[in-house]
A and B are shown apart, each in its own frame.
Chain A
Amino acid sequence: MTPFLQENVVFREVYCFLGGNEGNASWCGGDGLLPGGFEWAAYFAAGFVIMFILVNAALLGAAVFVWSERRLLARFQARRGPNRWGPWGIFQPIADLLKLIIKEDIVPNAADRLAFTLVPIIMLMALLLSLAVMPFARNTYLVNLNVGILYIIAVSSMSTIAIFMAGWSSANKYAMFGAMRGVAMLISYEIPLVLSLVGVVLIVGSMSLVSVVEAQTVPFLLVQPLGALVFMLGISAELNRTPFDILEAESEIIAGYHTEYSGIKFALIQAAEMAGVLAASGFLATIFMGGWSGPFWSGQLGAFWFLVKLAGFVMLFIWIRATFPRLRIDQIMAFAWKFLLPLALINFLVTAVQVYFFGFYQGDVPGELTRNELWIMAAINIPVALIAIGIFGRFSREKVRVPEPVFQNIAPSPRTMEVD
C-alpha cells in the first residue's frame, strides 16, 4: 500500500516513525515502532496529526482574522475596536468564543434536529477540505492534486447545501428567506467563478495549484485581470461578504440562515465563515499573486511571502466590507449574469486565443509560455479588461419602472398664509 500522501513531510515522518517497514513503505528509512500488520494504525495516526494541525491552524487563523477584522473595521469607522483583553484586545476572539461555548445551545422545537445539528459540521468540513490543496510554501501542502482548482470549486460549493439545510431545518421564516436567497445567489455565482479560472488553467496547462504557482513568472493578476476581478467578486459573493451579504443581511432578515443558531453551533458557523475568508484570500494569493514565490528567497521565505499576500487580500476584503452598502437580490443576480458572466467569457476567449498563438503557433516549447509572452499577454489583457468593464458596466445597469415625476407648484408665496 502506498499512501498517496507520502509526499507530505509530516505524514511521512509520523508514518515512518510508527509503521514504516520494508514491505509496504520502501521510502521509509527503516522499521517503525508498530509491529507488522498495524500499518493502518500508523496511517490513521499520521492523518490525525495532520488534521489536528490543520484544524487548529484554521481556527486560530479564524480567531486572528476575527480580531483583525474588528480592529480594522473599527479603524475604518474612526473607532477603536476591541482593546480590553490582552494587548490591543488580541484575546477578544477567545473571550467571544468562551461566551458562545457557555451559552445555552438552543434547538428550536419545530426544527429538524439532525439537519440543524449537521449544518455547522458540514460548513466547517467544506472549509477544511478546501485547505487540503493549498500550497502554503514550497513543498508545504497536504496534497498536490492534479485537479486542485476543480477540487476547490467542488468542495466550497458544499457550503451551499449547508446553508440551505440551515434555512430549511430552522423552521424560521427569516432563515428560510436567507436560505432561498443563498441558494439562488451561490449557484449563480458558481458559474462565473469557474469560468474565471479557466483562463488560468489554459495558461498553466494543469489544474494543480503547485504548477499554477510555478508557472507564475508574471503574477496572473496582471496576465488575467478580468479573471482575477471576476474571481474576487465571485468569491466574495460565495463568502457572503458585503456588498453581496444578502444571505445574512442583518438589517433585513435578522441573521439570515443562521438566525436560530446559538452557542457553539453559532461559533462554528462563524469560524467557518471567517476561515473561509482566509482560505479565499489564500487561493487568490496562490492563483493570482504567485503564492509562495516572492522577490527573493522564495524557497526559504515562502511562507512569509504567502502570508503577506494573504494579508493583503484579507485587508482588501475588510476594506470593501467597511465601505459598501449591499445590493438587492435582483441586482446581485443581474450582476452575476449580466456583468460577471460575460466578463468571464471574454476572458476565456481572449486567453484561449493568446494561448493558442503563443503556445503553439510561436514555435518554442509547445504548451509553455515564457516570461516575455506572459508580459505581452498582460499588456493586451489589461486594456481588454478595462474596455469590457466599461461596456458591461453600462449594460448591467438596472432598469426599474420609473413613474413619471410629477411637478406641481402648489406652494403659495410666503407670508400670504393666515396665522390663526
Chain B
Amino acid sequence: MYGFGLAKGLMVTLKNFIRPPFTIQYPEERIPQHPRFRGEEFAWYEERCTGCASCAKYCPLGIIKIVTSEGGRSPQEGGHYDIDVFDIDIGRCMFCGLCVEACPYDALFMGSGFERGRYERQDLVITVDELREAVKKPSTWFRPQLEDSGYDPHKDSALDWRAVGREKWEWHQREKAGARIKFRPARVGDKTQEGDGEARS
C-alpha cells in the first residue's frame, strides 16, 4: 500500500523542523577554525628570511616574486640579502601551502584569514610592505613547533619572529657543523617499523 514510507519521510522532516538549524549565520557567527587552517594572508618574517627563494621555486604556480639585493655584509659572513620585492599573487594562489613547506628558515607561514574580497585584481597581490606591516598570526600548518606550543592564531595574539622558529632541531645543529643530507633511495622492501628513525611523530 502506498503511503507508509512517505509518512515515515514526513516524520523525519518534521523531526528536523523542530531541531535547531545546523547552518551558521556567517558574518555574526563563525565555525571554529582549526589552527592548521591554511589562510590567505601569509605571515612572513623578514628577520628570518634569507631571500633564498625556495618558496618561489616550490610554488606550483610560480606566483611568488622575489627580488633581492645584497645587504651590507656578504652572506658568507653571516649577513643576508635585502628583500626588495616579495609579491604573492593571492588571485592565483590555491593555498596549497607548499611554499611554507619549502621554506627552510621558518620565515613564511600560512595566514589564518579567508576574507579577502576585492574589486580589483591588483589588490589581490600581497606586496612586501603589506607583508612587513601585517599583524602576524601564523597558521600552524606544517609548523609543528607552533602546534606543540598550542598556539591558536584565531585566539592568541600575534607572534614575533623569535617565537616562531624551530631552532632546537637536531638537523639544524648538524647542518651548522657543515653536514648535508644527501638522498639515496632505500632498499626496496625495507619496511620502516613504527617508532624507529628520527622523524617527527
Contact = CB atoms under 8 A, between A and B. Distances in A.
Q: Is A in direct contact with B (CB under 8 Å) within the complex?
A: yes
A76 B25 contact: no
A322 interface: yes
A75 interface: yes
Given A75-B21, A78-B21, A323-B10, 19 more contacts: A72-B17, A75-B16, A75-B17, A76-B14, A76-B16, A78-B19, A79-B21, A80-B23, A320-B10, A323-B6, A323-B9, A323-B13, A339-B2, A389-B2, A389-B3, A393-B1, A393-B3, A394-B1, A396-B2
Interface of A: 72, 74-80, 83, 319-320, 322-324, 339, 389-390, 393-394, 396
A322 B21 CA distance: 15
Interface string B88-103: 0000000000000000
Contacts of B19: 78
A83 B28 CA distance: 13
A134 B1 CA distance: 36
A75 B17 CA distance: 5
B2 A324 contact: no
A320 B7 CA distance: 10
Contacts of A79: 21-23
A40 B2 CA distance: 57
Contacts of A322: 13
Contacts of A74: 21
A393 B10 CA distance: 19
Nearest to A74: B21
14 contacts: A75-B17, A78-B16, A78-B19, A79-B22, A80-B21, A80-B23, A80-B25, A83-B25, A320-B10, A322-B13, A323-B6, A323-B10, A389-B1, A389-B2
B22 A78 contact: yes
Interface of B: 1-3, 6, 9-10, 12-14, 16-17, 19, 21-23, 25
A81 to B, nearest CB: 8
Q: Is the interface of A mostly helix, strand, loop or mixed?
A: helix
B16 to A, nearest CB: 5
Given A79-B23, A83-B25, A390 B10 contact: no
B145 to A, nearest CB: 39
Contacts of A339: 2
B143 to A, nearest CB: 36
Contact of B17 (A76, A80, A83): A76
Contact of B6 (A77, A83, A324): A324
Contacts of A83: 25
B20 to A, nearest CB: 8
Contacts of B6: 323-324
Contacts of B2: 339, 389, 393, 396
Nearest to A325: B9
A321 to B, nearest CB: 10
A319 B13 contact: yes
Contacts of B22: 78-79
Contacts of A80: 21, 23, 25
A339 B3 CA distance: 13
Contact of A76 (B1, B13, B23): B13
A77 B2 CA distance: 24
A367 B9 CA distance: 43
A320 B12 CA distance: 12
A48 B1 CA distance: 51
Q: Which 6 interchain pairs have the tightest Cβ spacing?
A: A393-B2, A393-B1, A323-B13, A76-B13, A80-B21, A78-B16
A75 B23 CA distance: 11
Contacts of B14: 76, 319
A323 B2 CA distance: 15
A342 to B, nearest CB: 13
Contacts of A390: 1
Contacts of B3: 389, 393
A77 B9 CA distance: 12
A163 to B, nearest CB: 27
Contacts of B16: 75-78
Nearest to B12: A323
A79 B21 CA distance: 5
A324 B9 contact: yes
A390 B3 CA distance: 10
Contacts of B21: 74-75, 78-80
A319 B6 CA distance: 12
Contacts of B10: 319-320, 323
Contacts of B9: 323-324
A77 B23 CA distance: 10
Nearest to A81: B21
B163 to A, nearest CB: 40
Nearest to B14: A319
A389 B6 CA distance: 14
Contacts of A394: 1
Contacts of B17: 72, 75-76
